[in-house]
A = this chain, B = another copy of it.
Amino acid sequence: MLKQVQHDDTTLSIFILFMNSIIGYFSTKFGELWDKDLSDLMFDALDGVLKKIKLEKSAIDAIFFGNMLGGVVEEKLLLEAHIAEVLGVNIPIYRVEAACASGGLAFQMAHEYLKNNSNKTVVVLGAEKMTDISAENITKSLACAASSDEQAVGLTFPGVYAMIAKLYLQKFHYKEEHLAAISVKNHAHAVLNENAHFRRYVTVDDVLESPYVAYPLKVLDSSPISDGAAALVLTNRKLVIGNQKSSQILSSEVATDCISIAKRERLDELKATKIAGEKAFKISGLKRSDISVMEVHDCFSIAEILALEDLGFWKKGEGGKHAKSMSTAAESGGNLIVNTSGGLKAAGHPVGGTGIKQIGEIHLQLTEQAGERQVRKAKYGLAHNVGGSGGLAVVSILGV
Contact = CB atoms under 8 A, between A and B. Distances in A.
A148 B90 contact: no
A87 to B, nearest CB: 9
Nearest to A85: B258
Contacts of A99: 77-78
Interface stretch (A111-119, A175-183, A204-212, A287-295): A111-119
Give the number of times this chain occurs in the complex, counting copies: 2
A357 B81 CA distance: 23
On chain A, which size bracket covers the interface?
A: 35 or more
Given A77-B145, A78-B391, A256 B92 contact: yes
Given A80-B391, A99-B78, A92 B255 contact: yes
Interface stretch (A28-36, A68-76, A304-312, A323-331): A68-76
Contact of A78 (B115, B141, B145, B263): B145
A271 interface: yes
A150 to B, nearest CB: 11
B259 A81 contact: yes
Contact of A96 (B90, B96, B112, B391): B96
Interface in A56-109: 68-72, 75-78, 80-85, 89-99, 105, 108-109
Contacts of A76: 144, 148
Given A85-B147, A92-B256, A93-B254, 4 more contacts: A75-B151, A77-B99, A81-B258, A112-B112
Interface of A: 39, 68-72, 75-78, 80-85, 89-99, 105, 108-109, 112-113, 115-116, 141, 143-145, 147-148, 151, 253-260, 263, 271-272, 275, 387-388, 391-392
